[in-house]
Structure formats: structure tokens, C-alpha cells
Amino acid sequence: MPAKTTMDAARAVPAEAVTPLIRGVAVLRRLTEAGGTLSASGLERATGLARSTVDRIASTLARMGYVRLDGRDVVLAPRVMELGNAYLAALGLPALLSSHADALADELDESVSLAVGDRDGIRFIHQATRRRAMSLSFRIGDLLPAERTAPGPLFATEWTHAEWQAWRERRAADPQDRDFPAVPPREHASPDEDFERRAQHARKDGWALDDQLIEPGLVAVSVPVRDPRAGGRIACVANVVSHTSRHTAPDLRDTLLPRLRAAVAKMERELREAPQPQPQPGAATAGLAIWTGASKQELGREFVESLARGLTVLTAFGEGRAELTLTDVARATGLARATARRALITYEHLGLVRQSGERTFALTPRVLSLGYPPLSRTSLSEIATPHLAELADRVHESASLAVLTPSGEEIQYTARAATSRVMSVNITIGTRLPAYATSLGRVLLADAPAGAGQLAASLGELLPLTPHTITDPSALATVLEEVRTRGYALVDEELEVGLRSVAVPVRDRTGRVVAAVNVAMHAARRSVEECVREVLPELLETAGRVEGDLRVAGRFARVAVS
């Protein structure tokens, strides 16, 4: 995601552009380039903005849930992915083609990606990676220079004369690719003619190779996915990536290219037969004016209304809303037409929006530069940790997140926030405990597909860990049914004498329980009734926040649960 290209520098800022929106986008881009975290002083240096301006922008973005403020650091938060999600939903390709890419990755046991063209670069919109000691680090949203990739020559076959000229100017201005943080700097310059020749071969062959152009050892082969509904133009490119220890570039061509082409044929058939997307509801912005007004009243100068309203314009786009008129955008956001128009003018200047017709607008792949890459490989534990810390501060007790192990007999702690007490629950991340005797485990077991009775009987011997531990399978089955019905589990001194805990489920986008969060304490500090009255509502609120972030982060990217 180039920080500043020759083309950008040459374009004058339109008189009607929203300056706070330009500055806010700059902050999000610099955070993205830095991997998701920068100090306020680091943002000041990276953007050239005054410290007071950076603080106001950070405060506004935090209010929107797009960043969180962690001491001196500004950290991207999962909710900022709703901006990139709007582009991916409007594009429609990940929803239609990702399953085919995933199936091909499983078949070949190699990483498979889908990429779109972004000016003179390529940007990934889907990744199906293999988990190996030597794995690929590219993420959804990463931008690569076209000439150092396999998809690049294929996209270049459709470039106009002006686009070729812009590519040459960028190459001359940035010979080492310093404006592309996702790739290592170029060590050896290659003449422009090399890429032009590769584009010619790609036009003739219908496929392209990357033989260690990005870095030594990395090879890839690509085939274009053409959209029959758009006159056969390239919709995206399917790309298989490997390492020379597994395949040479000629080997990729000879052994994997036929199977890649077969998968692309299925993708093109999917595009041809896909029904026309129906408009879906946009962002919940009916109360935007009320929310921004209340935020301004509470935060005063620290809340930049024009930035918050402007960012909302991006979320007006989505599935069935790939192209919108100014009236559509104003209606979807609740903004005045003049306000929506100025935001669209600003985004068009920044390259985030393009005019797709005489009166319609569409998002561009550059929207993915606003926080998506560093968050596209986030884990559930990373999502949950700041929420657990806030919960622990509110209830003054330790809070944890756990998942069920593959055997189904134990839970494993994957995130935790401890509280400062003389006597506290001392459990570390990675600890495993028997599921049947913990509140976390019972929440997870209660959602298991098998019936509670069958599940309880399958757990093996239920050992009496304390005099209070339930060891009868029938009794445990009854308890699990109660947990399923009431939505929480409370375990009182069954794991350890004096230890009391309450847990609630965390559900993914499909409603499946993927984890549980709990609060554990010494029994002397709160009675069972106080746990239900005081702690349970806080737990439910925390689980809701984690689920909200998980829904956004997991819409088009994989969120690792364990």
C-alpha cells in the first residue's frame, strides 16, 4: 500500500474534500503499514500531523471501535475490518469462489490465493494457506507490485497505455519497492522490458509463472478467472504458491497447472450461473446523527464528527450494493446529500472510490489498505484479550477464555486477564483441565451435537476432584441440559475446594459455540447468588463484544480459535 506514489503526489486535493477524513484515512493506513500498532508519537512522525490532531483522530476511531488505546499505543481493532468487508461483499468474488480455492488447496496441499488488480499492483482477496514451519506470510489485503508476482502479467494484459505509463513512473520513483511493505525490498533491478515480455507471454499462454521474483525459494503459477457476465474480462486471478523445496517453477507448470485450470473452470462456471445478488441491508446507521451528536457532546473536541460520518459512507456498500448513486449513499447512511457527496469526492481523490458510471460509485481494492491485512490473520484469543482485561477490571476478578480440546474431555485456556489480589486464581494460558468439572467445560459440552446423556457417558470416568464434584453421568447430563437452557454454567467448588466460577458461551457467525469465557474467584468473595446477580451480566456483555468482533473478523477471513 504505497505511502505516497508519483500519481498521488501529482493530484491536487479537491476543494470540496473533507480534510479530517483525509487525515483519518492516513492514520489508518500508517497503522496498517506498521502491523497494526503505533504509538501516538510514531503516528505523528509517520503522518506529519500535529500531535493534537493525531490524538483527536485516535479518540474518534476508538469511539467507533476501529482502534483501541493501549497506554501510549494506538492499536487496530477488529471492527475496522467492516470497511474491507464492505468492499469484499460488494465485489462478491470471495463468497462465490473461496470454497473452490479452499478445495484446490486441500487437493494440492499448497497455498492458494485469489487476487485482484489494484492499479499497477495486485491485492489478495482470499488466502487458503498450509500450516507448515515454512509458510507464506501474505494476508488478505496485502498489496504487491505486479511485476514481482505471477498474477501481475495477467492483469497487465488488460492495462491501457496510461496504466502502463503509470507503472513505469512508479518503477522509476521507487526502484526498490519501498512503498510495498508486504514484500522485501528489491535487491536487483530488472529492466521494464522483462515484465512487458512476461505480459506478452501471459496473453498468449493464458497463465503466468513467478520464479522467485518476490524472494528466493518462492514460486507460483497463476491462471485468470474470467467473468462471463463482463465480456470475459479478468475478474480475479487464482494463484498457487509453493517453495522450491517442494516444486520448481517448471514443475508447477507441468504438474499443478492442469489442476489449477480445472479449478478455474469451475470458478468461471460459478460466476456464469450465480444469481444476481439481491440488495442486503447496509450498516445500522439509522441513529448515526444521534450517535455522533452524543459522542461529540461527551468527548467535545476529541471527537471529529466529519471523520466518523465520512467513514460510515464506506459501509453503505456491500452485497447487492456494489454500485450506488449519491442518493443511495445518503439514504443508506442517513447523511445529508451534501455531506455524502463531499465524502465520496474525498474517497475518489484517495483512490478508495471510483465512478463506475455516469452517476454511480463503487469501492476499489484500496479500501483493504485500511486495517485489513494485519487483522486478517487474527485469532480468537487476540480478539478476546482486551475484552477480558476490561471485564477483569470491572469485576475485580480473573477472567479467561477456553476452548474444548479435540478429545472433548478437556478444556484449554487460550486467553486470560488476571487481577491483582493477594489470593487469586492462578491459571496460565495453555493449561488443560477436565471439562466436566469446570464452568467453561460445561458451557462447551452443553453445545455438543451429541445428546447430553450420551455425551456425559462418553467422557470416561468422572473423578471426584473435591467432595462436591458431580461424578454420576446421569446427574451431569441433567446439569448440561440446564446449562444449555439457561445459557450459562456455574460451578461451585467442584474443581477445587474454595473455587467458584461462572461461564457463558462465545458463538461464531453461524451460532455455533466455539469458546467460553468465565470469571473465577474464591468462594468467600461472592456467594452463588451474587455471582448470578453481579458477575453474570458483565460476562454476558463481554461475550457479546467478543462475538461482535468475531463476526466482523470472520466474515471473509479465517479466525484461529485454538
**386-392 mean pLDDT:** 96
User: What's the CATH number where 293 sits?
Assistant: 1.10.10.10
DSSP for 420-482, written as a single string: --SS-----TT-EEEGGGSHHHHHHHHT-SS-HHHHHHHT-----SSTT----HHHHHHHHHH
- The pLDDT value given to residue 187: 80
Per-residue pLDDT reduced to its tens digit, 503-531? 999 999 999 999 999 999 999 899 999 99
Cα–Cα distance measured from residue 559 to residue 561, given in angstroms and rounded to the nearest whole number: 6
User: What's the CATH number where 453 sits?
Assistant: 3.30.450.40
Please check whether residue 471 lies inside any domain of the structure: yes
Question: 534 - beta bridge partners?
Answer: none
Examine the domain organization and report whether 369 and 384 are in the same domain: no
Least confident of 95-109, 399-413, 418-432: 418-432
Per-residue pLDDT reduced to its tens digit, 88-110? 999 999 999 999 999 999 999 99
Cα–Cα distance measured from residue 353 to residue 329, given in angstroms and rounded to the nearest whole number: 12
- The pLDDT value given to residue 209: 95
- The pLDDT value given to residue 342: 97
Please check whether residue 456 lies inside any domain of the structure: yes
pLDDT band at 427, cuts 50/70/90? confident
Please check whether residue 561 lies inside any domain of the structure: no
Examine the domain organization and report whether 43 and 134 are in the same domain: no
Please check whether residue 257 lies inside any domain of the structure: yes
Per-residue pLDDT reduced to its tens digit, 545-561? 999 999 999 999 999 99
Provide the domain limits for residue 198.
93-273
Examine the domain organization and report whether 410 and 322 are in the same domain: no
Examine the domain organization and report whether 390 and 371 are in the same domain: no
Examine the domain organization and report whether 320 and 259 are in the same domain: no
Least confident of 7-21, 93-107, 276-290, 507-521: 276-290
Q: Number of structural domains, the chain?
A: 3
Locate 220 and state its grid cell: 507460483
Examine the domain organization and report whether 310 and 410 are in the same domain: no
Of the residues 375, 405, 429, the one at which a domain ends: 375
Residue 435 has pLDDT above 70, yes or no: yes
- The pLDDT value given to residue 283: 55
Of the residues 238, 273, 308, the one at which a domain ends: 273
Please check whether residue 82 lies inside any domain of the structure: no
Examine the domain organization and report whether 18 and 124 are in the same domain: no
Locate 441 and state its grid cell: 467445560
Please check whether residue 411 lies inside any domain of the structure: yes
> Packing angle between helix 337-350 and helix 19-33, nearest 10 degrees?
40
Examine the domain organization and report whether 125 and 263 are in the same domain: yes
- The pLDDT value given to residue 156: 98
Of the residues 253, 273, 293, the one at which a domain ends: 273
- The pLDDT value given to residue 9: 47
Please check whether residue 560 lies inside any domain of the structure: no
Residue 424 has pLDDT above 80, yes or no: no
